[in-house]
Structure 1
Amino acid sequence: MAKTYDYDLFVIGAGSGGVRASRVAAAHGARVAIAEEYRVGGTCVIRGCVPKKLLVFGAHFAEDLMDARRFGWKIGTCKFDWPTLRDNVLAEVERLEGIYQDILDRHEVETFAQRATVTGANEVTLADGTKVSAATILIATGAHPAIPDVPGAGHGITSNEVFHLESMPKRVMIAGGGYIANEFAGIFHQFSCHVTIVNRGDIILRHYDEQVRDRLLQISLTKGIEFKFNAPFETIEKGKGGKLTVKLAGQDPIGTDLLLWAVGRDPNTAGLGLDKVGVELGKNKAVLVDEDNQSSVPSIYAIGDVTDRVQLTPVAIREGQAFADTLFGGKPTRVDYANIPHAVFSHPPIASVGLTEGEAREKLGGYKTFTSDFRPMKNVLAGRNERSLYKLIVEEGTDRVVGLHMIGPDAPEILQAAAIAVKAGLTKAQFDDTIALHPTMAEELVLMR
C-alpha cells in the first residue's frame, strides 16, 4: 500500500514565493499547509520592497513640492512629519498581510502561525511540538539582512527596523553600495538627513552598467550625499544620547545618529534542520537545488531567496508557480533566468535588463552602443539640471537589442514594457521602425541613431 501523509505539500515560509506555491498547488487539488513564524507576506510585503516603495513615494514629494512653484503653484512652508508616513505605511502593510492570508484561506491552505523545522525527509515539527507528515516539503523561508562581524555592529540597524523608527535622525550612515543602500540614501536625503554611504569597495551597484551607475553617483554627490569608498569598518561605539562614533580604516572617527547595515542578505536556513536530514547547503548556507527546485533530498524542494540564485520577489513567485505546476499540475515548467528586469528605486531611479556594456564586451563578438543623454521636460521648466541617460546595447551581425539601461524619472515603469522587446529578441531596426510617442521620455528609446 502507498504510504499516506497528513499533507501532499507542506510549505515553510509564507512570503511571496511560498504563498504562490501553496495556492497554486491547492488549486491543482493538493492538500496543502503552510507555516510562518512571523507575518504572512514575507520580506517584500512586510519589511521590504512594498513599504520601501511607499517611502520612496513619500520622499519624492520633497522635490515635487519645490518644483511645483515653477509650475505656478503657490505653496507655503511645508513640514514633513515622519510618524504620519510611518504609521500610514505600517497600516497599508497590515492591510496587505490580510489579503495574503485571505488568498491562503480561500484556497483552503491550512496556516500554522509558528516556526516549523524539518525533522525528516517527510516530516515537519512545529514550535508547539506537533509533528506533521507531508509527501513534499517546500522551503521558502527567504533571507535576512547580513550584519558584519565588527565590534559594535549591534549598535546599527537593518532594513527590517527602518520602518519602525520613532523619529527621523539628522545624520545617517549607510553601509553598502548595492541597491538597498542607494535606495535608502535617496529616501533619507529627501527627508532632510545628512547621508553618508560607506562602501568597502570602490564602486556602487557593481552589477549595473558603468555609465548608468556613474550617473547616479554624480547626481547623488550633487544632491549632497557623501560617499566613502575603500573604507572597511573597524569599530562602532555608542555614546551619550545614543549617538554613534564610527571608526573606518585609515580615517578619522565619524559621528552619526543612525547606522544602517545594507551589505547583503543571507539565506534563512539556520536552525531549520536541513543539514540533519541530508539537504546539501552551499554558499552562505543556501539550499542547493536543481532546475526543478529539488534539493539533494528528493522530497524536499526550495524556492526564492533561500536558494540565493536571484534574490528578487518576482523570481520567487515564478519559481513557486513553476514548482506547483510541475509537481501538482502535470505541467512541467522551468524558470527562464535570462533577461530579468532589475530596478533601483534611487533618486532618480535606475532600470536595467540584459547585458551591460562590460558583459557584452566579454560575451559577444561585436556590439554597438546607442545612448540618449537628455534633460527631461519637467526638469527644464523646474530649473533642475538633473539629466537622464538611456542606453541600448546591440549585438553586431544580428542587430538584436541585448541590453537596455536607464536612469531617470519613471525609468522602472518604462523599462517593464521595453524589457518585453529585449526578451523577445527584437532588433534595433524594429525599435527604429516604431513611431515615437511624443512628448514623452520613453520616445528616446526609438530615436537613438
Structure 2
Amino acid sequence: MADFDYDLFVIGAGSGGVRASRVSAAYGAKVAVAEEYRVGGTCVIRGCVPKKLLVYGAHFAEDLADARRFGWQVPECAFDWATLRDHVMAEVDRIETVYGQTLENNKVEVIRERATVTGPHSVALSGGRTVTAKHILIATGATPMVPTFPGSEHGITSNEVFGLPALPKRVVIAGGGYIANEFAGIFHEFGCRVTVVNRGDTILRGYDAQIRDRLLQISMSKGIDFRFNCTFESVEKRDDGTLVIRTAGDDPIEADMLLFATGRKPLTEGLGLETAGVVIDGNGAIKVDADNRTTCDSVYAVGDVTNRIQLTPVAIREGQAFADTVFGNKPRRVDYNNVPAAVFSHPPMAGVGLTESQARERLGSVKVFTSDFRAMKNVLAGRNERALYKMVVHPETDVVLGIHMIGPEAPEILQAAAVAVKAGLTKQAFDDTVALHPSMAEELVLMR
C-alpha cells in the first residue's frame, strides 16, 4: 500500500470511528483519524454519558424524599446545578483523555482538524494538507435537527444543554422522542416547571404502546405538562432573557429555556462525498451495503451517519465488523435483529424485540403476558408509581418475540433478558426458571 499515505483514514472520532481505528491498527494497518471537535463523539461528549450522569443526579430528588420513609433523618436539601454540571464535565474530560490514550496506544494518528473527502482515495484537511488512503471510513455521526420558524434561533439543543450557566425555572421541550422525555424527567426532578410540546399525538413512537402510555401517565401525575398536536408559531425573547413561545391554537407559554429535541440527522453536509461518487438518501444518510461499503468501493461508513439504528453500541459493532472484514481477514456482519434499547426517563423504559403491535401486524395474533406491580421500595416509600413488564410470545412456537418494561432499573434488567430473546428462548424456558426473590426482575419468570 506504498502508493497511499495511510491504509485507512477515518473521518470522525466517535464510538464507531474509534473502534474501527484502533482495531484496524491492531491488525497492522496504518491508520489516521480526523476529528474537528473532541475525541469521543456525541455519546461521550454531549450525549449518553453526560446525560446518564444527569439522570443519576436527578434521581436523588426522589431518593432523598424516600429515605425519610426508611428511617433516615434527611434534612431539607437544596440542589446546586453548577456543582453537578462541573463534575459531569470533568468526567467527560477524563473519558475523552482515555479515548485519546487508547488511540495513541494502538498507534493511531489523531488529526484534530476538519477533514473532507476530495476523491475515492483523498482527503483534504482544514490546515491545508491533502492526504491519501487506500480506504476511507466516514463516521461523522448525526446532529440535532432544529425546526425553522420566527425566533427558533432562541432555542438550544442537546449539544448545548449540558453547559447551561444556570438552571432554568421554566423549561419547554420540543419533541416526543427519547431525548425529549429523558430531559423532561431530568429537569422536572431538578425542580423546573416542564412543558413538553409535541407536534404529534403520542410520545415515543416505535416503542410498545402500553409501556409508553404508562410513562405518559406517570409523567403527567408528577406534574409534567404535555401539549399534543401542537406546532410552533414563534418565539420572542424579552429584554430580561425570558421567552414567550407561541403555538398554533394554544395559549402562549412563558419560559426561561426552549430545548429542541426534535430528532437527529446524519452529519454529511459539506463532507465532499459527491467527489467520490458516494450516494446519500433523501434524509442525508449515507447508503451502505451489509459490509458498510458505500457506492464507492474504497469508501465505507458506520454509525449514525448511515441512519440504520442510531445507538452507540450499534456504531461500535459496525466499526468492529468493518475492521474485522477489511483488515482482519475475518468477514463479519452486524445482526440488527433484537437490538435492545432504553429510555432513561423517570422511571426508565427498556425493550427488545417486537412490540405487541409489530407482532400482530406480522403474525395476526400473538400471546401477551404482563406483570403490573408496585416495586417493594415504592410501596414502603408511599409511592403509587407502578411498574409494567410485558412479554410478547409467538402463538404457535412459544418463542418469546419481545420483552418490554417500565420501572426502576428496567434497563439493567432488560439487558440480561435481551440475551434470552436473542437466543430464541421460549416462554416455557422463563416459566421453568426459579424466581430470584425478592426482586423486581423475578416478575420476568412469573408472568402468567
CA distance in 2, matches of 1:101, 1:240: 43
Deviations 1:65-103 (A, max 9, x none): 000000000011100000000000000000000000000
Counterpart of 1:4 in structure 2 is 3
Counterpart of 1:79 in structure 2 is 78
State yes or no: 1:192 paired with 2:191: yes
- How much has 1:240 moved relative to structure 2? 2.0
CA distance in 1, matches of 2:55, 2:365: 39
Please give the residue correspondences for 1:100-179 in structure 2 after superposition, counting only pairs within 5 Å. Answer: 100-179=99-178
CA distance in 1, matches of 2:150, 2:267: 23
- How much has 1:283 moved relative to structure 2? 2.7
Deviates more, 1:242-251 or 1:275-284: 275-284
Counterpart of 2:66 in structure 1 is 67
CA distance in 2, matches of 1:31, 1:365: 53
State yes or no: 1:241 paired with 2:240: yes
SS at match of 1:283: coil
- Asked if the contact 2:322/2:332 (under 8 Å) is kept, the reply is yes
Deviations 1:5-52 (A, max 9, x none): 000000000000000000000011100000000000000000000000
SS at match of 1:211: helix
SS at match of 1:33: strand
SS at match of 1:415: helix
SS at match of 1:241: coil
What amino acid maps onto 1:386 in structure 2?
Answer: E
The size of the alignment, in residue pairs, is 448
Counterpart of 1:423 in structure 2 is 422
- Taking only aligned residues, the RMSD between alpha carbons, in angstroms, comes to 0.7
CA distance in 2, matches of 1:49, 1:285: 23
- How much has 1:332 moved relative to structure 2? 0.5
- How much has 1:276 moved relative to structure 2? 2.8
State yes or no: 1:323 paired with 2:322: yes
SS at match of 1:144: strand
CA distance in 2, matches of 1:424, 1:76: 49
Counterpart of 1:263 in structure 2 is 262
CA distance in 2, matches of 1:3, 1:411: 52
CA distance in 1, matches of 2:239, 2:187: 23
SS at match of 1:403: strand
* Runs of 4 or more consecutive aligned structure 1 residues displaced over 6 Å after TM superposition: none
- How much has 1:275 moved relative to structure 2? 1.8
CA distance in 2, matches of 1:277, 1:446: 53
Counterpart of 2:331 in structure 1 is 332
Counterpart of 2:226 in structure 1 is 227
- How much has 1:3 moved relative to structure 2? 6.3
CA distance in 1, matches of 2:433, 2:199: 44
- Asked if the contact 2:375/2:387 (under 8 Å) is kept, the reply is yes
CA distance in 2, matches of 1:3, 1:293: 25
Deviates more, 1:233-242 or 1:292-301: 233-242
CA distance in 2, matches of 1:172, 1:253: 13
CA distance in 2, matches of 1:236, 1:358: 38
CA distance in 2, matches of 1:385, 1:356: 26
Gap regions ≥5 residues in structure 1: none
- Asked if the contact 2:120/2:275 (under 8 Å) is kept, the reply is no
SS at match of 1:240: coil
Please give the residue correspondences for 1:390-429 in structure 2 after superposition, counting only pairs within 5 Å. Answer: 390-429=389-428
- How much has 1:365 moved relative to structure 2? 4.2
CA distance in 1, matches of 2:114, 2:47: 21
Counterpart of 1:314 in structure 2 is 313
Deviates more, 1:404-413 or 1:356-365: 356-365
What amino acid maps onto 2:24 in structure 1?
Answer: A
Gap regions ≥5 residues in structure 2: none
CA distance in 1, matches of 2:415, 2:149: 39
- TM-score, normalised to structure 2, is 0.99
Deviations 1:125-174 (A, max 9, x none): 10011011000000000001100111111100000111100110110000
Deviates more, 1:144-153 or 1:317-326: 144-153
Counterpart of 2:37 in structure 1 is 38
- Asked if the contact 2:5/2:132 (under 8 Å) is kept, the reply is yes
What amino acid maps onto 1:160 in structure 2?
Answer: N
State yes or no: 1:303 paired with 2:302: yes
Deviations 1:280-327 (A, max 9, x none): 010321111011000011100000000111100000000000000000
CA distance in 1, matches of 2:135, 2:300: 8
SS at match of 1:157: coil
The sequence identity of aligned pairs, in percent, is: 69
Counterpart of 1:377 in structure 2 is 376
- TM-score, normalised to structure 1, is 0.99
